[in-house]
Structure 1
């Protein structure tokens, strides 16, 4: 197994976008000595048509990454994207993700954007996505409302009880015991692309307002307090992220030999504002921390 050396990472950029490609919305997992990074791959084709995919790259050292492997179909009416996280459930890996339909060339996903899951035995081959009826079986799919940016987390107080967070009316959440039958559970004021850790009997949520990454805390997963902290990392020095830093995903690697820290994966857009270059140039970056407060990153 390759020994990871954070000091040897040559750049804060892990995957670099360009005028044709954008890398967004990272989610990561470390298993059997391999880091697997899942993300939205946005591609502008030669005729100007734009397609979005959920894709994956992997690395053993956080330096050398495999070429993107597309996991979802080429279909603008679906645009499977924004993988939230990967959990272990009943002997399988489960990944949550969204659809982001832009069938007529819309800039953003339309009102039929919904939340889905895919399953895998090896983290490489995945089943076809399955829709989550997050408002309950009694609510018609067309009445569920626009839902994006999911994240799954198990209750710290009741093993086997799962929550799905998603962007709708701030951040909403639903609850399930089998990942099939869901009930709406509430909502809270927050940004998008939430990531939630359970640390010392507390839930810590990272979320993305208009720029930067905010932090919220809860003991019961329903009532949250907002930290004053807004993480912008090295944005003031990064032309590639000058427009926006967002979608922070934290992977707890305190148990990983040679790392022993929290790793944050995020995406940055720049130098223009993300609203101007939504489908191009976005890059996935990396930073790390001992305490989720003070962060470091590779120096260019």
Structure 2
């Protein structure tokens, strides 16, 4: 049976899905975007399902001046869950977040009630490859006894590293780990998602271009990425702006394949951020069925 779209229409866009399976249930965190006068109001909702078809909904981070959004990943650290997310203040009359956008962490014992976010790097991006301090689209992953956080700055991907989830430093201050020089058509990139495989890591990223799409690259150390390319993703006719913001989880043991959640861009006159969430499955991470 096909999995239906998660769609709230033009009034409220659903973007940036992040998936966690726990206790037999799927927990899907996503950005909600509502038009608010001459600006936009962002928050984070949690949707929970037993079958990916019927969902209960709870607001985790309510809309407000910080515009909490883009839950990149939710990982287990000791006896707590940790979510990485962004603040995304939008100036009046603007469509996109300003230079004060930053990366944050929040913790939970049950995936439902979350602490107030605390900043990862309050000063923002401090690297040689951009003068912008703006950081968005975090993705947190554990590797080699350390914590690593991918992020977007100036249309390219950077990488932070920490031993304790408190003190962070730039892991690649001289160059982006993936940028315009690496994509097949020179597109800028966003929305990183990293999964571990038997032979290293696979990075899913979103090119910022008309029609969007899903990009893939590979690495053994999170720092050096190769074979960046766009996968031949199926058409999504309900999303004229194309598929983007892929989040992939390993469900091979339970269901026999990898599961992807993504959002399809469907901007409207009322909401330039218009989008709905859909799912795809794959046996090899390259060929997907929506």
Shorter-chain TM-score above 0.5: yes
Match of 1:72 in 2: 61
SS in 2 for 1:255: helix
How far apart are 1:49 and its partner, in Å? 5.1
Superposed, 1:1-300 pairs within 5 Å as 8-11=1-4, 13=5, 15-45=6-36, 47=37, 50-67=40-57, 69-75=58-64, 77-133=65-121, 145-155=133-143, 158-159=144-145, 161-169=146-154, 170-186=156-172, 187-190=176-179, 191-209=189-207, 210=209, 211-235=212-236, 238=237, 240-256=238-254, 259-270=255-266, 277-280=271-274, 282-297=275-290
Superposition TM-score, scaled by structure 1 size: 0.84
SS in 2 for 1:71: strand
Tell me which moved more, 118-127 or 182-191.
182-191
SS in 2 for 1:188: coil
Task: Work out the CA distance in 2 between the residues paired with 1:54 and 1:162.
Answer: 23
The gaps in structure 1 that reach 5 residues or longer are: 1-7
Superposition TM-score, scaled by structure 2 size: 0.87
Q: Deviations over 1:12-62 (max 9, x none)?
A: x1x1131211000000000101100000011235x5653100111010001
Match of 1:3 in 2: none
Over the aligned positions, Cα root-mean-square deviation in angstroms equals 2.4
Rate the CA distance shift 1:231–1:123 in 2: closer, same or farther, 3 A.
farther
SS in 1 for 2:171: strand
The gaps in structure 2 that reach 5 residues or longer are: 180-188
